[in-house]
Structure 1
Amino acid sequence: MMEPLRELRDGYIISLNLGSPPQVIQVYLDTGSDLTWVPCGNLSFNCIDCQEYTNNPTISRYSPLHSSSCIRDSCASQLCIDVHSSDNPYDPCNIAGCSLTSLMKGVCSRPCPSFVYTYGEGVVSGTLTRDTLRVHGSASGDVTREVTSFGFGCAGSTYREPIGIAGFGKGSLSLPSQLGFIQKGFSHCFLAFKFANNPNVSSPLVVGDLAISSKEHLEFTPMLKNLMYPNYYYIGLEGITVGTGTSGSLIQVPSNLREFDSSGNGGMLIDSGTTYTHLPQPFYSQLLSKLESIINHPRATEAEAQTGFDLCFRVPCINNITNVDDHLLPSITFHFMNNVSLVLPQGNSFYAMGAPRNGTVVKCLLFQSMDDEGYGPAGVFGSFQQQNVEVVYDLENQRIGFQTMDCASSSAFQQLHN
């Protein structure tokens, strides 16, 4: 499977061809969840607290009534049990009228009850539906594979989730799992922010053998096994270096960024559905202090108040061109387990908040503090820090590889871009 990804605002969009005849629905790629869901109903779909997306032409919706191959999933489906994951997954179907005997035998034909799925602050409510999914099997798009009876959520109402999601986690509901690729892997190379909303360029997404073959030159860090949360992708962070060479300063990270407690809390989640990298306190404050101590440019505190980012500077620029001043800010290197070092590409740490003025440009550190909730991952490696990096999920060998590259000019991009 080879599909182009388009950058939209704070994420990366993949187009799903669902139904008979096909309906093209654009959804976010999310490696931090399993369920694939789409907004359902041209008029009936309701998104609460989504005013900023009102009348956005990029939002597409799926109509079950206009597909001859659409069916409602039943309680006999394993996906129905999975979407209602709880202490007793049989309970919703029992309430719907399935007898205990039919549930245990997996033969109850009653429709799978509606589900509720949560994403941080967002909530999705819908019904589990099956329809034909068509994916491209080559870069040129001339090979199409039909996946019949693909299971996904048909969402009628959401809270703060105006656009659907393609779940790329490890669970049975995920898109790679249903396509039979969960024992293989996938890779992506996210374009930089400057290409957002540009219809003429795309990021390559490759799923299957081609994604992991001939990738031995990459640096691979092991996926950490979390028995409590087995469907997420965790890696271990061992340190962060600010600067390069002998002037670089290594900051040791807390052990919970590479270890789990007895409840499954800890580790670093790698997640395309989270925009910015989140780091726990007090380590996050230590990183800010180190950066502030070695950067001599004046702070832009008004930009910090406006944007919500914690560290902004006024950086000189030549002839009002912002991309020639990157050397004026220190590089940041992430050190993952297995001696894997990823020097973040220029622009993945500090980002210009606007056009240059009077020979300076305001740049802010696009990292954020992890909410101190005491549960879940200790940190998150977000999609912004993955830009211009080929990221390979080698699921067969349970490892994740990194290689910096110009995603816009990579060979994979050239094949995808007609």
Structure 2
Amino acid sequence: MASLTSLPFLLILFSTTAFTLAAAAGDTFRVDFHHRFSDKVRRWAESQGLPATWHPEKTPKGSAEYYKELVRHDRALLSRRGRSLAATDDVYSFAAGNETVALPTLGYLHYAFVTVGTPNQTFLVAMDTGSDLFWLPCDCKQCAPVTSPLYGDLEFSIYKTNESSTSKPVTCGSSNCSLPTNLRQTCTGTSSTCDYTIKYASANTSSSGFLVEDILYLAKGDTGEDIIHTPIVFGCGEVQTGSFLKSGAPNGLMGLGMDNSSVPNMLAKKGLISDSFSMCFSNDSSGRLNFGDKGSSDQSETPLIVDNNNYPYYNISLDGMVIGNATTKTSFTALVDSGTSFTILAEEIYKELTITFTEQVTDTQLSDPTLPFEYCYQMRAGQTKIVRPNVNLTTKGGSQFPVLHPLVGLYTQTSQEPVGYCLAVLPSTDINIIGQMFLTGLRVVFDREEMVLGWEKYDCYGTELSTAPPTDKNASTPPPAGEAPPTDKNASTPPPAVDAPAPLNPETTLFKRKKSWAPNLGPSTMLNITLSLLFMVFVMFNSVY
């Protein structure tokens, strides 16, 4: 996500109708999700004669002990699964943990709980590598509602500057008023507030207000025993417009870009972390974010393009694609953006990928103008397996960036039987964005010290998925017959027949095929895209944990 001037891309996908889940009998129902330390779960456990999940009199919400207990719970959960958290004191997470979750009813962005202020308040904040500024709904003149059917049982907080004893406005004369010129508003004097306005690529979507400084709470290392209080600068978002008032980032957004105003940059300048962070994207819609993580020694890497004027975010050079048994050689530059759900490609690259992919799919192409994607395929009655070509992006230097989950599934509303699938790629006029779905199944490292993008296959629970023996990470391996050669262990391997792709979340998602699906793909070079699409139904987030 970014400003229109520098093309930051938060392409928020939102539905124009309410989200409900149709049961087999035709009734509708909603499933809410609650943290195990929530008041509702505690009361429910007590009513069932079960041990209390949390004792607020011993560990008040927001206290250091509260966060330590959360971390201990995470470690115990992972231990039961035979996994562990990364062990390094140089890595930090948010005080409430390093978990993120993609929430389909909220634009299918990855969200994390972020705690700020004194007394502290917790916000459900969208994570976005395509923009820089961190802002919260604050002293609201026009903000998203704090409750909504889209939020389930959650009630969001509003940051109020006069209710935090550690909050102070950033003035125009302060060195902290260091916004890029396209975000900074005209100052009337050194003592006036440092105002900002940031416009995003989604139609008429913006946030404006003024900068403040307050405390951000972080957990240090593996154990999380140390809760760190560090002052940071963020936006007091008084006025939001567009998608922010509907379903995209209604409780704030954290830009993770390369500008001085981004949180990773501020933490690195304080000497807390290496100037690097990682995001992991699991196919169960969960994820991880770790500040200071530089990845592993055997991850694949490619240089980041350093050009603050033309490429101010995490852009990489690509020398082509390997699609099944075919190789393309067209070079292009792409933005790696966690704030965009689906991959978006300029027309020439889009055609190379989609046509070459379709030539190697055995299922019949599905022509349905009501679908948001152009390249979809129909499954036969009773069919449960598909064979598709692998997709790898060839990066500068030769490393293969594997696209492990390029498809979304089409399912019937009542029986939830698979009826087809789509290649989750959208066309644009001249912009290339590697979106969140193409990052699924990987831990992606944004190393700003070495200026490289790193990646490896990862399940987000501490397990590297590759089982190949250690080799030079860029060395070629003999290809199977008819298959283009992958150049490293993180590239896709030849696929057997696999289950039909799930509709974004294999356990909680259901595509509802309706005639009102209508993508609006305007030909603007600013990528003025608002996709009123994907009437998706989601049961929110697993069982109580």
| TM-score bucket (shorter structure) | 0.7 to 0.9
Secondary structure of 2:352's aligned partner:
helix
Q: Which residue of 1 aligns with 2:393?
A: 334
- Are 2:398 and 1:398 aligned? no
Q: Which residue of 1 aligns with 2:99?
A: 4
Q: Which residue identity is paired with 2:398? A: N
Mapping 1:6-405, distance limit 5 Å = 6-9=101-104, 10-41=108-139, 44-47=141-144, 57=154, 59-82=156-179, 84-85=181-182, 92-93=186-187, 96=188, 98=189, 108-112=190-194, 114-121=195-202, 122-148=205-231, 150-159=232-241, 160-162=243-245, 163=249, 164-180=252-268, 184-192=275-283, 194-195=284-285, 202-208=286-292, 211-212=293-294, 215-229=296-310, 231-243=312-324, 248-253=325-330, 255=331, 257=332, 267-302=333-368, 305-316=369-380, 325-326=385-386, 328-345=387-404, 348-355=405-412, 360-370=418-428, 372=429, 378-405=431-458
Q: Which residue identity is paired with 2:102? A: E
Cα distance in 2 for residues equivalent to 1:220 and 1:80: 34
Distance 1:358 1:229, change over 3 A: closer
Secondary structure of 2:162's aligned partner:
helix
Instruction: Give per-residue Cα distances to partners, 1:189-241, cap 9 Å, x unaligned.
Output: 1122x43xxxxxx4221111xx116x220111011112414631110111111
Cα distance in 2 for residues equivalent to 1:410 and 1:355: 34
Instruction: Give per-residue Cα distances to partners, 1:361-418, cap 9 Å, x unaligned.
Output: 3111111112x2x5xxx41111111011011122221111111122256389xxxx98
| Number of residue equivalences | 356
Q: Which residue identity is paired with 2:341? A: T
Q: Which runs of 5+ in 2 are unaligned?
A: 1-91, 466-543
Q: Which residue identity is paired with 1:166? A: M
Distance 1:411 1:135, change over 3 A: farther
Distance 1:229 1:145, change over 3 A: farther
Cα distance in 2 for residues equivalent to 1:179 and 1:171: 12
Check conservation: 2:127, 2:338, Cα contact below 8 A.
Answer: yes
Secondary structure of 1:161's aligned partner:
helix
- Larger proportion of helix: 1
For normalisation by structure 1, the TM-score amounts to: 0.77
Distance 1:315 1:406, change over 3 A: farther
User: What is the CA distance between 1:276 and its match in structure 2?
Assistant: 1.1
Of the structure 1 ranges 173-182 and 391-400, higher mean CA displacement relative to structure 2 is found in 173-182
For normalisation by structure 2, the TM-score amounts to: 0.60
Q: Percent identity?
A: 23
Of the structure 1 ranges 171-180 and 60-69, higher mean CA displacement relative to structure 2 is found in 60-69
Cα distance in 2 for residues equivalent to 1:146 and 1:358: 47
User: What is the CA distance between 1:109 and its match in structure 2?
Assistant: 2.4
Cα distance in 1 for residues equivalent to 2:407 and 2:260: 37
Cα distance in 1 for residues equivalent to 2:265 and 2:432: 25
Secondary structure of 2:268's aligned partner:
coil
Q: Which residue identity is paired with 2:406? A: S
Check conservation: 1:79, 1:172, Cα contact below 8 A.
Answer: no
Q: Which residue identity is paired with 2:259? A: G
User: What is the CA distance between 1:18 and its match in structure 2?
Assistant: 0.8
Cα distance in 2 for residues equivalent to 1:385 and 1:134: 31
RMSD: 2.9
Distance 1:252 1:19, change over 3 A: same
Q: Which residue identity is paired with 2:351? A: S
Cα distance in 1 for residues equivalent to 2:321 and 2:304: 19
User: What is the CA distance between 1:155 and its match in structure 2?
Assistant: 0.9
Distance 1:360 1:145, change over 3 A: closer
Instruction: Give per-residue Cα distances to partners, 1:309-354, cap 9 Å, x unaligned.
Output: 1111123586x7x6xx25x122111111111102222xx1111132
Q: Which runs of 5+ in 1 are unaligned?
A: 99-107, 196-201, 258-266
Q: Which residue identity is paired with 2:253? A: I
